[in-house]
Structure 1
Amino acid sequence: MKSSAAHHGSLRSYLGGFSASLLLTLASFGLVLYGPPLEPSLLFGTLAFLAILQIIVQIYFFLHVDTSSEQLWHLLPLLYTLLIVILLVGGTLWIMHNANLHMMSGMDP
């Protein structure tokens, strides 16, 4: 059986996670401030992808959650939380879209 200290990362692991987080953050800011002029939807998609990568880096390097059998009890609540967030955000966007559609339907010129 492994000790609880085995789940903690080394200095090298923390520095790698910090470097990856810093790189992803700077890439996001650089893309918005100095990047090529992109379509708004492409820019949003790229920023969303970089944000998802940032979340994965944070979870793996700093929370030490991976797909090993020892970490299953930490992964399941995280996946449940992700499901709840997706339902809340998706439901909110769906309600807002329908409200906008129904409230603005009589305003066509």
Structure 2
Amino acid sequence: MKSSFEKKIIINSIKMRKKDCFLGFFLSVLSTIISFLLTIKNYLSKEETIFLIVFFCLFQVIVQLRFLFGFNADNYKSWNIIFLLFSFFVILIIFFGSVWIMYNLNNNLMKH
């Protein structure tokens, strides 16, 4: 049976976890909207837009790791490193695969 002190700690932890999830979700949506508006409205030059999109992409990755996945300095375990490496590998495959497909489509469709 758990003591009342342990129950308070668990309830506090659940409340903080919900707060972190909502904050992480809000920041992720905000960075997505900003990136979308930068792309659609053409406020800046092409180079500045690409730089800011990459910045907001990295910001969103950090926000999701910290707030949604719960990675922080206090709770850093070895499986977290494995998960990070696997996620990074999957992101690289998706990114470079997309670039390769777009490049080949451009070459094959624009050969006239």
Q: TM-score, normalised by structure 1?
A: 0.57
State the partner residue of 1:73. 79
Relative contact order higher in (CA < 8 Å, ≥ 6 apart): 1
- CA RMSD across the alignment: 4.0
1:99 alignment partner, one of 87, 105, 110: 105
Change beyond 3 A, Cα 1:68–1:60: same
2:30 alignment partner, one of 15, 25, 30: 25
Structure 2 alignment gaps of length 5 or more: 1-9
| Secondary structure of 1:90's aligned partner | helix
State the alpha-carbon separation in 1 of the partners of residues 76 and 55 from structure 2.
Answer: 28
1:85 alignment partner, one of 91, 97, 101: 91
2:54 alignment partner, one of 45, 48, 71: 48
Change beyond 3 A, Cα 1:60–1:22: closer
Deviations 1:55-78, CA, capped at 9 Å, x for gaps: 212211332224678422023123
Q: Which amino acid aligns with 2:67?
A: F
Q: TM-score, normalised by structure 2?
A: 0.56
Q: Which amino acid aligns with 1:103?
A: L
State the partner residue of 2:16. 11
| Secondary structure of 1:46's aligned partner | helix
| Secondary structure of 2:43's aligned partner | coil
| Secondary structure of 1:61's aligned partner | helix
Structure 1 alignment gaps of length 5 or more: none
